[in-house]
């Protein structure tokens, strides 16, 4: 099976660019709808951070450290490195007796406009706290303190990553064919898109067991603190707010996007094959409308799937639209 046409850019009455990809909508029983090839193996990248955070709760480490829902949202985040994110991760590390040098995620300039400007104009350098994955890594460090593992918690055979791998394989219901090293240096386990969709359905319709309780807690944390999961203006945050909490949404690098719809018991996962975030954001937006949790007239829809694209002088130059057959 091949990828499917998902998102198109039009100009002058003509299709200028097109994004292909794969998408699935799942419930507990399996795939409800699919586009492209649900069996395609992908790297979920940061879209699976809520899976990576399961051992943090299930081990008892989160409660032992007294983590709040806001911190759990941050453990699932690819944040913008705004002051609120940087300070929250710094406070978290302080609370567990650790500090920025204990992180292994590396430094990059924050996407948050104000913090980026502050650093740029003061000749400041970003710290590892600015890394969009620093919340996930704070979670890893918290788990690691609990497990009494060595400091190189991002190594694939480290107890922290082995716990993550076990949870990942259980919720995707697959044996992972391998891992890649992510931008933040942690291993990122591969799975089929269908496996990722199944995992999101499990988060949407969790059981009453220890795992189900951990899933519910993470999804509720994400929905309660959408600004901690990404940042002001970022797609995940915008879409979670626009669905008024009906969906927890999370992006991953190279155009992966997932959504968890607890009231519907539905999980969504998609991957745009070319890795363009403009397309994965548009595609998840279209699927949230399709599933009835996002109003087609909501400004978030026009933001990510604009009916009119304007140039520097405000002239209409074209539009972005879904391809025939996607989603309906």
Out of 9, 93, 219, 268, the only residue in the binding site for its own copies (CB under 8 A) is 9
Alpha carbon 40 to its chain's center? 19
Residue 185 near its own copies by CB under 8 A:
yes
Identify which of residues 62 and 279 has a Cβ nearer to its own copies in the complex. 279
Out of 28, 70, 108, 290, the only residue in the binding site for its own copies (CB under 8 A) is 108
Length of the chain: 328
The residue range among 6-14, 22-30, 53-61, 239-247 that interacts with its own copies, by the rule CB under 8 A, is 6-14
Residue 134 near its own copies by CB under 8 A:
no
Rounded CA-CA distance 36/5 in Å is 8
Identify which of residues 297 and 312 has a Cβ nearer to its own copies in the complex. 312
Identify which of residues 108 and 321 has a Cβ nearer to its own copies in the complex. 108
Identify which of residues 13 and 66 has a Cβ nearer to its own copies in the complex. 13
Alpha carbon 85 to its chain's center? 16
Rounded CA-CA distance 192/43 in Å is 8
Out of 56, 190, 196, 234, the only residue in the binding site for its own copies (CB under 8 A) is 190
CB proximity list for 314: less than 8 A, separation 6 or greater: none
Q: What is the dihedral of CA 304, 307, 312, 317, to 10 degrees?
A: 130
Between 58 and 97, how does the x/- string for binding to its own copies read (CB under 8 A)? ----------------------------------------
Identify which of residues 33 and 274 has a Cβ nearer to its own copies in the complex. 274
The residue range among 31-39, 64-72, 135-143, 311-319 that interacts with its own copies, by the rule CB under 8 A, is 311-319
Identify the DSSP state of 59. T
- Compute the least distance from the CB of residue 17 to its own copies, in Å: 4
Identify which of residues 155 and 220 has a Cβ nearer to its own copies in the complex. 155
Place of tokens 């509720």: 220
Q: How many helices (H) and strands (E) does the chain have?
A: 14, 12
Rounded CA-CA distance 202/218 in Å is 12
Residue 272: CB atoms within 10 A of its CB come to: 27
Rounded CA-CA distance 255/284 in Å is 10
Identify which of residues 9 and 240 has a Cβ nearer to its own copies in the complex. 9
- Compute the least distance from the CB of residue 185 to its own copies, in Å: 5
- Compute the least distance from the CB of residue 210 to its own copies, in Å: 30
Contacts by residues 86-91 (CB-CB < 8 Å, ≥ 24 positions apart)? 86/110, 86/115, 86/127, 86/129, 86/130, 86/134, 88/135, 88/228, 89/129, 89/134, 89/135, 89/138, 90/129
- Compute the least distance from the CB of residue 314 to its own copies, in Å: 8
Count of residues near its own copies by CB under 8 A: 47
- By the criterion CB under 8 A, which residues form the site for its own copies? 9, 11-14, 16-20, 41-43, 104-108, 117, 120-121, 131, 177-185, 188, 190, 254-255, 273-276, 279, 311-313, 315-318
């Amino acid at each position: 099976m091949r990828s499917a046409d998902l998102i198109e850019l039009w100009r002058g009455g003509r299709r200028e660019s097109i994004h292909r990809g794969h998408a699935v909508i799942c419930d507990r029983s399996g795939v409800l709808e699919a586009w492209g090839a649900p069996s395609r193996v992908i790297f979920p990248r940061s879209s699976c951070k809520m899976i990576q955070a399961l051992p943090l709760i299930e081990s008892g480490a989160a409660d032992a450290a007294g983590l709040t829902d806001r911190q759990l949202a941050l453990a699932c985040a690819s944040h913008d490195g705004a002051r609120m994110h940087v300070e929250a991760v710094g406070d978290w590390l302080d609370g567990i007796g650790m500090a920025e040098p204990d992180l292994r995620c590396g430094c990059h300039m924050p996407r948050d406009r104000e913090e980026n400007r502050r650093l740029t104009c003061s000749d400041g350098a970003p710290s590892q706290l600015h890394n969009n994955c620093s919340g996930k890594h704070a979670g890893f460090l918290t788990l690691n303190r609990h497990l009494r593992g060595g400091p190189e918690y991002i190594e694939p055979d480290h107890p922290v990553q082995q716990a993550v791998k076990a949870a990942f394989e259980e919720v995707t219901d697959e044996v992972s064919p391998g891992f890649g090293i992510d931008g933040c240096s942690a291993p990122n386990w591969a799975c089929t898109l269908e496996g990722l969709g199944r995992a999101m359905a499990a988060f949407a319709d969790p059981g009453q067991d220890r795992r189900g309780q951990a899933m519910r807690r993470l999804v509720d944390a994400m929905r309660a603190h959408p600004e901690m999961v990404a940042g002001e203006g970022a797609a995940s945050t915008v879409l979670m707010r626009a669905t008024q909490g009906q969906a927890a949404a999370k992006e991953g690098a190279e155009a992966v996007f997932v959504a968890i719809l607890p009231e519907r018991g539905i999980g969504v996962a998609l991957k745009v094959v070319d890795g363009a975030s403009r397309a994965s954001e548009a595609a998840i937006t279209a699927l949230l409308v399709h599933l009835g949790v996002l109003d087609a007239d909501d400004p978030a829809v026009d933001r990510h799937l604009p009916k009119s694209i304007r140039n520097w002088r405000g002239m209409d130059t074209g539009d972005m639209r879904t391809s025939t057959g996607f989603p309906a």
